[in-house]
Copies of this chain bind each other. A is one copy, B any other.
Amino acid sequence: MSDQQHTEISALGEFGLIDRLTEGLTHHNASTLKGVGDDGAVLEYKDSEVLVTTDLLLEGIHFDLTYVPLKHLGYKAAVVNFSDIYAMNGRPRQITVSLGISKRFTVEHIEVLYSGIKLACEIYGVDLIGGDTTSSRSGLVISITCIGDAPKGKIVYRDGAKDTDLICVSGDLGAAYMGLQLLEREKVASAGQKDFVPNFAGKEYLVERQLKPEARRDIIEELDKAGIVPTSMMDVSDGLSSELLHICKQSHVGCRVYEDRIPIDYQTAIMAEELNMNLVTAALNGGEDYELLFTVPLSQHDAIDKLPGIKLIGHITREDLGCALVTRDGGEIPLRAQGWNHMSE
């Protein structure tokens, strides 16, 4: 959080700060009629269904500014909302950004945070249309609401999984969690040391997965091109187990997931070994991967199998068979949600 210039936020006031942060904002989407500058933004969604999702991020709970750069934080705060919209087979279109800012932040800090949010908006084609900015007594508060859309009948919910459907996941799992462990380890190692240089050699992927996750727009587009509409879908924010249990509960089905099918990057595996952690547990319960978890009818097996970056990890069963992990030796362990649950900490 070091920087050249230090402009106190009180020197600009709320409206001055908002003017500075939103200067030169342009819009990408025809659905954005009016953005920042009135009591509310104005949108138009004639021919599609509108999706709304929201995330609240609090300093000390969701992020630690000793190792999270403000620009990355802004980027991630926006992207995790986009991910929720993609997870419904939609496209993110607009966000509102509300910030609570404590006294230790300068105008320049908030500009850096905003530059990350704007970069994410640029890359994903999303319009920043408004928000609220206020002072905070303690730490940074970021609340983002994302609005998106999907053509009529194309939205994918959590409750559509059917017996015999295939369970698919994009990318790999557990890396963001291992990145967090690594960052926490280096934070502890750095305590009290000046000029400490954290050691991320050979683990850059883990750090990137934690600090700069991407939403899987590419997967949504790939499925669309292939003409595949999932029967159910979620993004993996709390961990695979937790998300799968949500889908099964809401769809009234069970599932079998195969341990040896769970996609794991080699850096994740090495880190788990270093930390003496169970790799599969980390991949099942480590959150914040923002990969897409979805189910497709069995008849789509060959079509899905051809798509890059998507792995078949199991199948849906009847509800009475429960939800279980099938281990390498053929045993079954009931799936439990022990993930990334901020309320039970």
User: Cβ of A55 < 8 Å from any Cβ of B?
Assistant: yes
**Among A52, A250, A345: residue with most chain B CB under 10 A:** A52
> A45 to B48, alpha carbons, bound, how many Å?
8
Copies in the complex: 2
User: Cβ of A43 < 8 Å from any Cβ of B?
Assistant: yes
User: Cβ of A148 < 8 Å from any Cβ of B?
Assistant: yes
Is the CB–CB distance between A158 and B341 below 8 Å? no
Listed stretches A90-98, A167-175, A268-276; interface member: A90-98
B-side contacts of A87, CB under 8 Å: 39-40
User: Cβ of A301 < 8 Å from any Cβ of B?
Assistant: no
Is the CB–CB distance between B235 and A39 below 8 Å? yes
B-side contacts of A51, CB under 8 Å: 40-43
Contact of A52 among B15, B40, B46 (CB under 8 A): B40
Is the CB–CB distance between B132 and A54 below 8 Å? yes
Is the CB–CB distance between B157 and A85 below 8 Å? no
Interface string of A23-52 (1 = CB under 8 A from B): 000000000011001111111111101111
B-side contacts of A188, CB under 8 Å: none
Chain B residue at minimum C-beta to C-beta distance from A337:
B15
Is the CB–CB distance between A50 and B45 below 8 Å? yes
A residues 90-137 near B (Cβ < 8 Å) are: 90, 94, 96, 98-101, 129-137
Contact of A141 among B129, B141, B159 (CB under 8 A): B141
Task: Tell whether A50 pairs with B59 under 8 Å between CB atoms, given A88-B38, A137-B139.
Answer: no
B-side contacts of A38, CB under 8 Å: 88, 157-159
Is the CB–CB distance between B55 and A98 below 8 Å? yes
B-side contacts of A130, CB under 8 Å: 52-54
Contact of A134 among B12, B34, B56, B155 (CB under 8 A): B56
Is the CB–CB distance between B343 and A136 below 8 Å? no
Is the CB–CB distance between A137 and B54 below 8 Å? no
Q: How far is the CB of A52 from chain B (nearest CB, A)?
A: 5
4 nearest A-B residue pairs (beta carbon): A40-B53, A14-B343, A143-B143, A56-B98
